[in-house]
């Protein structure tokens, strides 16, 4: 995998070994960032179920101010740290922990993010969707954007306005807008 655009364009990024994570393909990442480009510059980004960190790394390369990566898998969290070091990207924090617990804590603390990237294991979505629906809307800035990646057959639901939903092969990307 490589960074597609921005200050680190063309740099290689590692993915964790094994099948515990499913990195967003370069093609899907490129299409997503074409859709969300106006929200990236100077954004405060939350990358949930971060895996390799490819989405958040791409955002930092494209000018995001800060990024918080949340990943429960220890190997994946170490991979994100290595990618950040190798790419010399600053303004990032890696949280090794449960994404649902983290968003509940962040929401209770009044945190706000301009761009929230959510890519849970596809099989988990039905189980976790009620907690995502409860904790994600308060985290999203009024003019922010939430990107939810799911299996192409899944129509995710959150109590936020849908900006667009696109399919790329086996993947669906749904963009939700913050509430003004």
CA 79 to chain centre: 16
> Per-residue pLDDT tens for 48-81?
999 989 999 999 999 999 999 999 999 999 999 9
pLDDT of residue 125: 92
168 phi, psi to nearest 5 deg: -130, 95
pLDDT of residue 27: 80
Query: Residue 130 — pLDDT band, cuts 50, 70, 90?
Result: very high
Contact assessment for residue 82 and residue 133, using Cβ atoms and an 8 Å cutoff:
no
pLDDT of residue 24: 65
In this prediction, what percent of the chain has a pLDDT beyond 90?
Answer: 76
Cβ neighbours of residue 125 closer than 8 Å, sequence gap 6 or more: 150, 151, 154, 156
Across the chain, the runs of DSSP E, i.e. the strands, are 44-48, 66-71, 92-96, 113-118, 140-151, 162-168, 171-177
Which residue segments constitute the domains of the chain, with CATH numbers given?
26-177 (3.40.50.150)
Contact assessment for residue 123 and residue 61, using Cβ atoms and an 8 Å cutoff:
no
Closest CA relative to residue 149, chosen from 166, 132, 130: 166
> Per-residue pLDDT tens for 17-54?
765 555 667 788 889 999 999 999 999 999 999 998 99
- The pLDDT of residue 95 is above 90: yes
pLDDT of residue 146: 98
**How far apart (Å, rounded) are the C-alpha atoms in residues 47 and 87?**
17
- The pLDDT of residue 178 is above 70: yes
pLDDT of residue 9: 82
> Per-residue pLDDT tens for 143-162?
999 999 999 999 999 999 99
SS3 67: strand
């Amino acid at each position: 995998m490589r960074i597609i655009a921005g200050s680190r364009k063309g740099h290689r990024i590692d993915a964790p070994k094994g099948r515990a994570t499913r990195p967003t393909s370069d093609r899907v990442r490129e299409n997503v960032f074409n859709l969300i480009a106006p929200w990236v510059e100077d954004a405060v980004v939350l990358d949930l179920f971060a895996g390799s960190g490819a989405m958040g790394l791409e955002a930092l390369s494209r000018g995001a101010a800060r990024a918080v990566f949340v990943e429960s898998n220890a190997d994946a969290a170490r991979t994100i740290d290595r990618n950040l070091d190798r790419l010399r990207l600053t303004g990032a924090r890696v949280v090794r922990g449960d994404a649902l617990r983290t968003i509940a804590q962040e929401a209770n603390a009044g945190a706000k993010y301009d761009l929230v990237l959510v890519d849970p294991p596809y099989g988990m979505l039905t189980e976790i969707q009620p907690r995502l629906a409860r904790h994600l809307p308060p985290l999203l800035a009024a003019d922010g954007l939430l990107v939810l990646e799911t299996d192409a057959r899944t129509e995710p639901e959150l109590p936020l306005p849908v900006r667009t939903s696109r399919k790329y092969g086996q993947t669906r990307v749904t963009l939700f807008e913050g509430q003004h």
